[in-house]
Amino acid sequence: MNSTPTAIKWVAKSAPKATQIEHLVQELRIPAEVATLLLHRGISTFEEARTYFRPEESTWHDPFLMKDMEPAVGRLLRAIKKKEKVMVYGDYDVDGTTSVTMMDAYLARHQVPVSHFLPSRFKEGYGLTQEGIDQAIEQEIQLMITVDCGITAVEEVRQLQEAGVDVIICDHHEPGEHLPPAVAVLDPKRADCPYPFNELSGAGVTYKLIEATRQRLGEPEDVTESLLDLLAVSISADIVSLRDENRWMMHKGLIRLNERPRPGFQALMKTCKATPGFVRSSTIAFSMGPRINAAGRMGNAFPALELLMARTDEEAMSRATALEQINKERKLADKTTLQQAMEQVAQRGMQNDPTLVLFGENWHLGVLGIVASRLVEEYQRPVFLLSQLNGQAKGSARSVAGIHLVRLLEEVSDTLERYGGHASAAGLALDPSQIERFRDRVNEAMVALPMEPVEQMHEYDAELQLKQITPKFWSLYRQMEPFGPDNPVPRFMTRGVRLAKAPVRFGVNHAKGLLMQAEDPERAFEAISFSNRIIAEELQRTWSLQRPMDILWELEESNFGGKRVFQLRLIDLKLTS
């Protein structure tokens, strides 16, 4: 009999055919469990495995295959030759700030006068804004390059063109029905773009423009190779596919980031206690990226941009320290909002409501999405978090699998001033006087809509004995990195595990312990769980009851005294009798 701390079902991925596994085992001289992981990732031949384990430049695509690259390069070369005034206009997130830094570095190399504009998340919002347009006109900008934004800015670009400002769009988001009337629109998602890979990050598109210009000028390759650290950070933080040329660029970028990080990244690593040489995609996703994003979340992304553009170690350390303080403020706002939201649920007796509509007049808008996601994990239902800005209730919504947020909001659109998003995440705005009406209506709509939540499940790659984690397995596992979309972190299930000694709990939601199996009593493996109160409690209960457990886990690397060591990150566990 099993008991589980969560109601989430564990499901094994479909097992590959035995003949396929044996083929890779013989061809590559690898363990069967590694062959299974490769097959789950669509890798079935020697050549595919070689490219996967050793990302090659052969996956690199010619930037001139991208629609409008010729006119984009031509216009950029004119700006370089004539030293025209250029504005680089970006987004306030990691992808946007790395893109702006990248383009600034290249133009500075050519002594082009450059200014930058990043909109405020709260004042102007995402995209090409009127304030940015006005500044470009006031500064007599001759060329604006939008990075990580601009693909839907039809009227805004027309306004700039009429004012004598040429525009190059570098974006990776979905285009609208009409493209902006820019000099060039670079976006691999354009329906008429023949570029063979459409999953570049915004910085990836910017990099392609710089690379094409470098080629046209006959500059050495290290001009663009010096930008690969920025590109790697954008790819990991923006959660784009890690297949095709993104995998090669990420691979090269991580080498650059570990061996020759720019001052801004070196200082950022110090503040988040990351060690050069040990930085991986997960370091970016969970440590470096959130700190860069914190500035934009709290209202002004320029502190992050200034850090990335720092020229000296002293300048970088000062800016990284300032950014760390902003991130601490973000985490405090996150913690306070979560606590107050959960208190509101309890005080108002909303535990059984079909949805949760929560309002805090002083909640920080920049953390509402993060907190809503945590509340969804806690309560397993759609959550709408609202705060107040300029007399309007604004907020973020998150949903569970099977409940389409936009369809739900469509049912109550008469209570809203605006809304938008997709199935699992949305934004909304309404008059504060309509909050109670919205709460009643959305709960009614939730009950009435013919949508059933999909049963939650954890999917895992294979069942593994701890003794199968050999040095060869660990070596091959590390070569599967970088992990991310389309190359997910492998997940395993192991039965009959026991704690070798009492687990250690740190904070309310974190715990670690030493695990072992009866089949290999001489070896113990360190396991850790972050931000999961239920697992932390269950580990303590397991020890007190002296019962074995089945565990769902991922393998991760950590730095211990300058050495690479691995540990198991617990995803879920079940006590067994």
d(CA 561, CA 435): 53
d(CA 363, CA 335): 11
d(CA 459, CA 447): 29
Which pLDDT score, from 0 to 100, does residue 195 have?
98
d(CA 211, CA 224): 6
d(CA 437, CA 432): 10
d(CA 489, CA 219): 38
Tokens of 498: 């026991």
Whole-structure pTM value: 0.88
d(CA 106, CA 211): 10
Which pLDDT score, from 0 to 100, does residue 2 have?
39
Name the region of 324 (left: φ>0; alpha: ψ -120 to 50; beta: rest): alpha
Give the DSSP H/E element, type plus range, for residue 80. Answer: helix 69-82
Half-sphere exposure of 537 (CA within 13 A, CB side): 7
pLDDT in tens, 513-543: 999 998 778 888 899 998 788 898 889 999 9
Query: How long is the chain?
Result: 577
Which pLDDT score, from 0 to 100, does residue 120 have?
87
What b/e string do you get for 13-38 counting C-beta neighbours within 10 Å, with b at 16 or more? eeebeeeebebbbeebebeebbbbbb
Tokens of 236: 């990991």
Which pLDDT score, from 0 to 100, does residue 123 have?
76
Q: CA 292, 316, 118: angle at the middle one, nearest 5? A: 45
d(CA 202, CA 191): 17
Which residue blocks in 309-385 are alpha helix, DSSP H? Answer: 313-347, 368-379
What b/e string do you get for 445-470 counting C-beta neighbours within 10 Å, with b at 16 or more? bbeeeeeeeeeeeeebbbebebebbe
| Fold observed for domain 348-448 | Diaminopimelate Epimerase; Chain A, domain 1 (3.10.310)
Half-sphere exposure of 521 (CA within 13 A, CB side): 1
Which pLDDT score, from 0 to 100, does residue 454 have?
62
Which pLDDT score, from 0 to 100, does residue 254 have?
95
Half-sphere exposure of 455 (CA within 13 A, CB side): 7
d(CA 324, CA 292): 9
Tokens of 354: 């079909």
Strand partners, 421: 426
Strand partners, 510: 506
Q: Residue 251 CB: number of other CB atoms within 10 A? A: 19
Distance of CA 175 to the CA centre of its chain: 21
pLDDT in tens, 151-208: 989 999 999 999 999 999 999 988 888 999 999 999 999 999 999 999 999 999 999 9
Which pLDDT score, from 0 to 100, does residue 509 have?
80
Beta strands in 183-329, from DSSP E residues, in sequence order: 184-186
d(CA 552, CA 417): 44
The CATH number of the structural domain formed by 63-260 is: 3.90.1640.30
d(CA 37, CA 25): 12
DSSP state letter for 227: T
Which pLDDT score, from 0 to 100, does residue 59 have?
80
Q: Where are the domains of the chain?
A: 2-14+457-576, 63-260, 348-448
d(CA 289, CA 283): 8
Whether omega for the bond prior to residue 482 falls within 30 degrees of 0, making it cis, is yes
Which residue blocks in 449-532 are alpha helix, DSSP H? Answer: 471-479
CATH 2.40.50.140 correct for 2-14+457-576:
yes
Which pLDDT score, from 0 to 100, does residue 450 have?
66
Q: Report how many helices (DSSP H) and strands (DSSP E) the chain contains, helices first.
A: 21, 20
Nearest Cα to Cα of residue 379 among 329, 341, 331: 341
Give me the residues of the chain with pLDDT under 50, please: 1-5
